[in-house]
Structure 1
Amino acid sequence: MRVVVLGVGNVLLSDEGLGVRAVERLQRTHRLPPEVEVIDGGTSGMELLEQIEGIDALIMVDAIRAGAPPATPIRLAGEALPVFFRTRLSPHQVGLSDVLASLEFLGRSPRHICILGLQPQSLALGMELSREVEEGMPALLGMVTAELASLGLAAPAKSCGGS
């Protein structure tokens, strides 16, 4: 099984960079099995096609504007995915929608696709996550590891020594 955890977002717009910041932290704090590849997708679009073509599962991590209170954990899958991409919350989502449509057309779409994220507090210019979203990061990482576990893959936290 090949699984990609794809963090997307613009790190120059505070909470919009959540997906990238989350996958960076996931790699620092968890032992990931060899079946899992973590990709910092930033604001990429079609250039991600080759990296996710033919994988079994795609777990995208992103800021998700759903009208919920800041840092609310959100999971989208199945029929909720097209709705998410139609809202076009940021430029990278348009490109990712095209990537997923292309993979489906080619018959190379992942069997399992979900988007995990938090409701952003701020999309203002800035490199740091808002306090609320930063405090929600452990819950988001827990969602990612739970999604991996649902696929039969364990990603335990590293010990305090970072081993």
Structure 2
Amino acid sequence: MSILVLGVGNILLTDEAIGVRVVEALAQRFHLPEDVDVLDGGTAGMELLDAMANRDHLIIADAIVSRKSDPGRVIILRDDEVPTLFSNKISPHQLGLADVLSALRFTGEFPAKLTLIGVTPASLEPHIGMTPVVESSLDSALAAVMDALAESGVVLTPREAAHAQ
């Protein structure tokens, strides 16, 4: 089993940082098995191709712009829903991710399973630090990532418990 949890976003644009903050929290709070990689992808695009290729499960955490959702809402999309959503221009760096996903499909290296955990931003203005409403959704987004991992049979151990053994 080869799983990648990828956080994407720009920490200089307020709530655009949520994806990066989710993967930071995951790595800080939990002991991760060897077959689970966690990567802060920032605003990278095609540079992520090798890291994303041939994964059994790719889990992406990101800010997702949606007129239908209130700020701070966690949105979960799976498999074929994800590329469709990226065609709707939902994120400042999505073209890079859409290109990578298209390239992976073209080369036959598309992940077997794809999950997008998105949080609707309240602000994408230049500022370091998230808005309170999106900051308060961090634990819900992290729980969604943990659920996605559980779907692939991964059980996480909290860091405190991992050190006590």
In structure 1, runs of 5+ residues without a counterpart are none
Change (3 A) 1:90 1:118: closer
Letter in 2 for 1:10: N
TM-score, with normalisation over the residues of structure 1? Answer: 0.93
Using the TM superposition, give the Cα deviation of residue 135 of structure 1 relative to its aligned residue in structure 2, in angstroms.
0.8
* Structural mapping, 1:18-97, within 5 Å: 18-67=18-67, 68-97=69-98
AA paired with 1:27? A
Task: Tell me the residue number matched to 2:142.
Answer: 141
Say if 1:155 and 1:104 are closer, same or farther in 2 by CA, change over 3 A.
Answer: same
In 2, distance between residues paired with 1:158 and 1:2?
Answer: 21
Deviations 1:110-155 (A, max 9, x none): 0100110211111111110110111111111100011000100012
Q: Quote the residue 2:105 is aligned against.
A: 104
Taking the aligned partners of 1:139 and 1:90, their CA distance within structure 2 comes to 20
Counterparts of 1:9-24 in structure 2, within 5 Å, are 9-24=9-24
1:153 paired with 2:158, answer no
1:5·1:60 contact (CA, 8 Å) conserved in 2?
yes
Provide the C-alpha distance between the structure 2 equivalents of 1:140 and 1:26, rounded to a whole number of angstroms. 10
Helix, strand or coil: the match of 1:38? strand
Is the Cα contact below 8 Å between 1:121 and 1:132 reproduced in 2?
Answer: yes
Residues of 1 paired with 2:161 and 2:121: CA distance?
A: 29
Unaligned runs of 5+ in 2: none
Please report the RMSD computed on the Cα atoms of aligned residues, expressed in angstroms: 1.7
Aligned-pair distance for 1:95?
Answer: 0.9
- Measure, in 2, the Cα distance between the counterparts of 1:155 and 1:134: 23
1:123-134 matches, cutoff 5 A: 123-134=124-135
Q: Given the two structures, how large is their TM-score scaled by the length of structure 2?
A: 0.92
